[in-house]
Amino acid sequence: MTSINADLEQQNSIHFLKHTGFIRRSAAFIIDGIMLSVLLSILFSMFYGNSDWLAQQSEWSINTLIYDELLPLILVVIFWVYKAATPGKMFLNSKVVDAKTGDNLSVGQSIVRYIGYFISALPLGLGFIWILIDDKNRGWHDMLAGSVVIRTQ
C-alpha cells in the first residue's frame, strides 16, 4: 500500500515543480555548446595533431560524421539518462525529466528529444520559441519525448 501511495505522490508532485524558462534554458544550451566545442577541439587536436584539422572538416568523411553528429548525440544522451542534465543545465540548476513520472529520461526518450532539436529548429526555430508560449515551458522536442525541464534546489 505504501508503494502505491509513494507512486501517486511522485506522479502528483511533478505537476507542482517549477519549470525552467526560456532564458535559463537558452543560457544552458550556450554553455553546453561552448563546452562541447572545447572538448571536440581537444579531441581534434589529439587525432589530427598540428595539421589543419579545421580544413579537414570542410569535406565529408566518417570522422566528420562521428565528431559532428554521433559524438554529441552520445554525450548528450548519456548526460540526460544518468544525470538528468547536461553540464549547462547542471550549472544553472535545471534538469530534464520525464513529464509524467519525474524520473530521468530513458535512452529512447533521450534520442527522440535530441532528434526533436532538429525538428524544433527547422521552421525558423519555432519549436524553441514555443517554450515561451507553453504553460510548462516545453519546446516541441520536449513534447515529442514526453519530457519537461525543471528547476532544482
Note the pLDDT tens digit of each residue in 22-73.
Answer: 999 999 999 999 998 898 888 777 777 666 655 555 566 777 777 778 989 9
**pLDDT tens digits, 40-52:** 888 777 777 666 6
> Phi first, then psi: what are they for 94, rounded to 5°?
-135, 155
State the pLDDT at residue 58.
58
Closest by CA to 94, choosing from 17, 20, 16, is: 20
Rg, the chain, Cα only:
18
The C-alpha cell 522536442 sits at 141
Q: Answer whether residue 5 shows pLDDT above 50.
A: no
Q: Tell me: pLDDT of 17 over 70.
A: yes
Average pLDDT over residues 66-83: 91
* Cell digits of residue 125: 526555430
Q: Which one, of 134, 135, 137, 116, lies nearest residue 125 by Cα?
A: 116
Which range, 15-19, 39-43, 63-67, 135-139, has the best average confidence (pLDDT)? 135-139
Sign of the torsion angle spanned by Cα atoms 146, 23, 93, 79: positive
118 against 54, higher pLDDT = 118
pLDDT at position 4 is 41
Better pLDDT: 92 or 43: 92
Domain regions of the chain by residue span: 2-151
